[in-house]
Amino acid sequence: MRRSHEPLLWLLFGAGGLLAAWLGPALILFTGILVPIAAERGVTLLGYEAARGLLQGPAGLAAVAVVTLLLFHAAHRIHHTLHDLGLPAGRRTRLGCYGAAVAGGALAAAAVLAL
Amino acid sequence: MAGERTITLEVQRFHPEADEAPYLQPYTIPFSEGTSVLEGLQHIKDRLDGSLTFRWSCRMAVCGSCGCMIDGEPALACRAFLRDYAPGPVRVAPLDHLPIRRDLVVDQSDFLAKLERARTYLIPADERTPADGAYRQTPEEMADYYDYAQCINCLLCYAACPQYGWDQAFTGPAVLALVQRYDLDSRDAGKDARRAVVNADTGVWGCTLVGYCSEVCPKGVDPARAINQRKPASVADYLLGWLRPSGGEGTP
């Protein structure tokens, strides 16, 4: 019986799910709602320079990790959902899903490095 | 019996030696509040058509023999009541995903072979004889696996599982839940022997947690929980496998 290599993907999926549950709502609340509302009222909660300074430190690495793992979580779920819907989810969908997650992670890394 | 209620059962028939393909045969039978679908089938066999073939034994959801698809859902015929399907017609077919032997009787060979391969029986740590007396455990230790021990091998979960429907190589809900039942038993030392079955692509990793198996289980076993409870341990096996000489696969 061939041992499955799914555990590796499942670990990344689990890590992404945990981070999404922990940080997702807070990140959306802060960067998506509070910062723009404050900015409208002339209060700068997180200006460009501050964000840039933050992301150039270890927080940049953390941001790339969070983005990549969240994308992995989504990729894994999409891949398995395709399978559950009875669509042929084989090597190509696998490559497409996880490849997109890796590409998104690389894009995040490039963006942080370009700051 | 004046004013007796009747209902039509559309039963799927198939005698492989005579029929090209399965077909539905309608039978109209009397029923009362307490008539189960199984009793309806028995009425047909006793009074209308002796050639109708189905399995049954206990009539009380203990033996697991009379599982079939009732209006498209896997159920025990003894636990489903005709009153709930009135005015009908109600469609009775053999369990999905399993080969048909005759009418409502399915071939269980694949399941039985998997049950054996997974070694779903107690493998004690020490050699014991009846002279050693009862193999004791605390109520807390029993609670760890008790729910999973309620399985009656009725195969409703196999008929419910889309993964098994697509790929019969998948070990499937009941066998994986039973693996967990023995692995969690404080008296058992057979985890290594069951590892290869669990860690394969066709083991716990074949499950995508659809959860329909747990919904249809007549004994509240919750195979979906058992399987997904086992995934972290399988991950640990995978990672430790790089350190272990056997590769963490155990005996195949």
Which residue among A1, A4, A6 places its CB closest to the CB of B252?
A1
Q: Amino acid letter at B85?
A: Y
Report the chain A residue with the minimal C-alpha distance to residue B196. A1
Contact A80 B208 (CB under 8 A): yes
Report the chain B residue with the minimal C-alpha distance to residue A6. B205
Residue A88 has pLDDT above 80, yes or no: no
Report the chain A residue with the minimal C-alpha distance to residue B117. A1
Min distance B158 CA to chain A CA atoms (Å): 15
SS (H, E, C) B45-100: HHHHCCCCCCCCCCCCCCCCCCEEEECCEEEECCCCEHHHHCCCCEEEECCCCCCE
Greater model confidence, B234 or A91: B234
Report the chain B residue with the minimal C-alpha distance to residue A78. B208
d(CA B182, CA A85): 33
Contact A6 B201 (CB under 8 A): yes
Mean pLDDT score across all residues of chain A: 91
SS (H, E, C) chain A: CCECCHHHHHHHHHHHHHHHHHHHHHHHHHHHHHHHHHHHCCCCCCCHHHHHHHHHCHHHHHHHHHHHHHHHHHHHHHHHHHHHCCCCCCHHHHHHHHHHHHHHHHHHHHHHHCC
Write out chain A residues lying below 8 Å of B197, CB-based. Answer: 1
Instruction: Mark whether B168 and B202 lie in a shared domain.
Output: yes
CATH number of B227's domain: 1.10.1060.10
Min distance A7 CA to chain B CA atoms (Å): 5
Write out chain A residues lying below 8 Å of B230, CB-based. Answer: none
Last residue of a domain, one of B55, B84, B106: B106
- What's the domain count of chain B? 2
Are residues B235 and A10 in contact, defined by beta-carbon separation less than 8 angstroms? yes
Disruptive mutation site among A2, A4, A10, A82 for chain B (greatest number of B CBs within 10 Å): A4
Domain for residue B100, yes or no? yes
Instruction: Mark whether B157 and B210 lie in a shared domain.
Output: yes
CATH number of B63's domain: 3.10.20.30
Instruction: Mark whether B121 and B188 lie in a shared domain.
Output: yes
Interface subset of A 57-86, CB within 8 angstroms of B: 80, 83-84, 86
Report the chain A residue with the minimal C-alpha distance to residue B232. A7
Q: What is the pLDDT of residue B149?
A: 97
**Residue A2 confidence class, pLDDT cut points 50, 70, 90:** confident
Contact A7 B208 (CB under 8 A): no
Instruction: Mark whether B129 and B89 lie in a shared domain.
Output: no
Last residue of a domain, one of B106, B139, B165: B106
Min distance A6 CA to chain B CA atoms (Å): 7
Instruction: Mark whether B117 and B229 lie in a shared domain.
Output: yes
Residue A86 CB-density burial (10 A; 0-12 exposed, 13-18 middle, 19+ buried): exposed
Q: What is the pLDDT of residue A1?
A: 73
Domain for residue B144, yes or no? yes
Domain for residue B129, yes or no? yes
Contact B203 A1 (CB under 8 A): yes
Instruction: Mark whether B73 and B174 lie in a shared domain.
Output: no
Q: What is the pLDDT of residue A47?
A: 84
Per-residue pLDDT averaged across A69-85, rounded? 92
Last residue of a domain, one of B106, B127, B147: B106
Q: What is the pLDDT of residue A5?
A: 86
Instruction: Mark whether B97 and B40 lie in a shared domain.
Output: yes
Domain for residue B251, yes or no? no
Write out chain A residues lying below 8 Å of B238, CB-based. Answer: 3-5, 7-8
All structural domains of chain A with their residue ranges? 7-18+57-113
Instruction: Mark whether B115 and B72 lie in a shared domain.
Output: no
Q: What is the pLDDT of residue B246?
A: 59
Instruction: Mark whether B133 and B207 lie in a shared domain.
Output: yes
pLDDT tens over chain B, length 252 residues? 556 899 999 999 999 999 999 999 999 999 999 999 999 999 999 999 999 999 999 999 999 999 999 999 999 999 999 999 999 899 999 999 999 999 999 999 999 999 999 999 999 988 888 898 888 999 999 999 999 999 999 999 999 999 999 999 999 999 999 999 999 999 999 999 999 999 999 999 999 999 999 999 999 999 999 999 999 999 999 998 878 765 545 444
Domain for residue B62, yes or no? yes
Instruction: Mark whether B126 and B82 lie in a shared domain.
Output: no
A11-39 residue pLDDT tens: 999 999 999 999 989 989 998 999 999 99
Instruction: Mark whether B119 and B234 lie in a shared domain.
Output: yes
Q: What is the ipTM of this complex?
A: 0.75
Note down the domain range covering B67: 5-106
**Residue A85 confidence class, pLDDT cut points 50, 70, 90:** confident
The number of C-beta contacts closer than 8 angstroms across A and B is 47
Write out chain A residues lying below 8 Å of B208, CB-based. Answer: 80, 83-84
Instruction: Mark whether B113 and B95 lie in a shared domain.
Output: no
Report the chain B residue with the minimal C-alpha distance to residue A82. B208
- Dihedral of CA atoms B66, B72, B74, B77 in degrees, nearest 10, equals -30
Contact B201 A10 (CB under 8 A): no
Are residues B219 and B151 in contact, defined by beta-carbon separation less than 8 angstroms? yes
Contact B235 A86 (CB under 8 A): no
Which of B13, B182, B200 minimizes the C-alpha distance to B105? B13
Q: What is the pLDDT of residue B251?
A: 46
Contact B238 A3 (CB under 8 A): yes
